[in-house]
Every structure is written in structure tokens, then in C-alpha cells.
Chain A
Amino acid sequence: AQSVTQLGSHVSVSEGALVLLRCNYSSSVPPYLFWYVQYPNQGLQLLLKYTSAATLVKGINGFEAEFKKSETSFHLTKPSAHMSDAAEYFCAGGYQKVTFGIGTKLQVIP
């Protein structure tokens, strides 16, 4: 079964700084990997997903993630943080039966 591990339950960045949220996966088969975001008092929504078409995946709101098989990683990045990016981010993996990481709360400091 595929599982994902998020490193860091809380990340703080200054507005305008690089955002890097880490996710590693374990699997022996080609993975299906996702990042979901949960804004305060809202439901989860898909940010981006990897389905083997391209290793660099672009999502909504300027986020992107790079699939690195050699490192079994799927880290989420954004070049310049905005206050509106403050949310909880979940890495997830699997086909049909999707399992989630513990989540990373992103705080953006003005």
C-alpha cells in the first residue's frame, strides 16, 4: 500500500519568501500523488496532482511540485508566498484508495 510522509507539521515563511513543503512517498508501483489544500473553515480542494505525464506539475495559485523518483519525493513549492497562502496542506497518494499525510500548516508572516 502506498503511504506518504510529510516532514514538518508547521512551516512559517515571510511574505514574498519561497515556500517549500516536503512530502516523501513509499511505493513499488508508479505513484499517483496529490497535494490538497484546506483554507481556514473550508473544505479540502485539489491543488495539483502527478499522474506520470510530466515530473514538474503546476497547480493553482502559483504552486508547483516536482516528482523525483530517485528521492521518492513530491515536494510542493511556490516562489513567493502570499498572505492568502496561509492554510493547511496535505500530501496524498494512491489510486482510488487515497491515503493522506498528517498535513503541514503554513503560516505566512507579513
Chain B
Amino acid sequence: DVKVTQSSRYLVKRTGEKVFLECVQDMDHENMFWYRQDPGLGLRLIYFSYDVKMKEKGDIPEGYSVSREKKERFSLILESASTNQTSMYLCASSLYGDRDNEKLFFGSGTQLSVL
């Protein structure tokens, strides 16, 4: 069974802390994505990556950075967590260049609370 695994289901951090959210996929997908999901706002793309060490900004990259050192792992970093970053964070992956089978596989999400 294909899997996208996010390291934590729930996370509580304090304002100003550096936060790492980890995501691992076992499908050998080139593309990986980080979204945040907020009520009334849907899913908003933070960053995505088409390959190892490559990254592109999504629609709301401010306050976030990412790291992709290995193909299977995509990390989201909050350099200095703030209360407005309290949200559900979703990682996803997909196969590069496969137009007919374009499909995102999602992890279960990490609910981050910043106090």
C-alpha cells in the first residue's frame, strides 16, 4: 500500500520556537508538496519540490522554508513559530510528468498548535 507518512499527528510548540515537520513517501515520487488547511480557506500551497534539492514557493511561503535532501523526504521548517501558523499541515506527493495519472497522495496531516 502506498504511503505518505507525516512524523507527528499533533504538535504543540511555543511562539518563537523552530519547528520541523517531516514527511516521508515510499512511492519514489519526484514531486512533494506542503499545504496548510484552515477552515474556510481550504488548502493553500506553501512550498513544493520537483526533485532533490529543488524547491519552489507556493502561494503562502512567508515564514516557512523547506528541505529536500533525499527523494523520499520533504521537511517543512518554521524558523520562528507564530500563533498565526497554528494550522493543519498536509504533505502530499505525486509522480512527475505522468499527465494521465496525475494524482496527489496525501499524508494524514499534522495539527500544529503554536501557543
Q: A residues bordering B, Cβ < 8 Å?
A: 6, 9, 32, 34, 36, 42-46, 49, 51, 90, 92, 95-103
Residues of B within 8 Å of A102, CB to CB, are 40-42
Binding site for A on B (CB under 8 A): 31, 33, 35, 40-45, 48, 50, 56, 58-59, 90, 92, 94, 96, 99-100, 102-104, 106-109
A75 to chain B, nearest CB (A): 17
Query: Other CB < 8 Å A-B pairs besides A36-B104, A46-B103, A100-B43, 11 of them?
Result: A43-B107, A44-B104, A44-B106, A49-B102, A51-B99, A51-B102, A90-B43, A96-B94, A99-B45, A99-B59, A102-B42
Among residues of B, the one whose C-beta sits closest to the C-beta of A104 is: B42
Q: State whether B96 touches A96 (Cβ < 8 A).
A: yes
Contact across chains for B99 and A90 when beta carbons are under 8 A apart: no
**A32 touching B99, Cβ below 8 Å:** yes
Which residues of chain B have C-beta atoms less than 8 A from A99's C-beta? 45, 59
Which partner residue on chain B sits nearest A32 by CB separation?
Answer: B102
A-B contact pairs, 9 of them (CB 8 A): A36-B104, A42-B108, A43-B107, A44-B92, A44-B104, A95-B102, A97-B58, A100-B43, A101-B42
Is A46 a contact of B40 with CB atoms below 8 Å?
Answer: no
Q: Is the CB of A45 within 8 A of B106?
A: yes
Smallest Cβ-Cβ distance to B35: which chain A residue: A100
Given contacts A43-B107, A44-B90, A96-B94, whether A90 and B42 have CB atoms under 8 Å apart is yes
Query: 10 tightest CB-CB pairs across the interface, nearest first?
Result: A102-B42, A100-B43, A44-B106, A43-B106, A103-B42, A100-B42, A43-B108, A46-B103, A101-B42, A32-B102
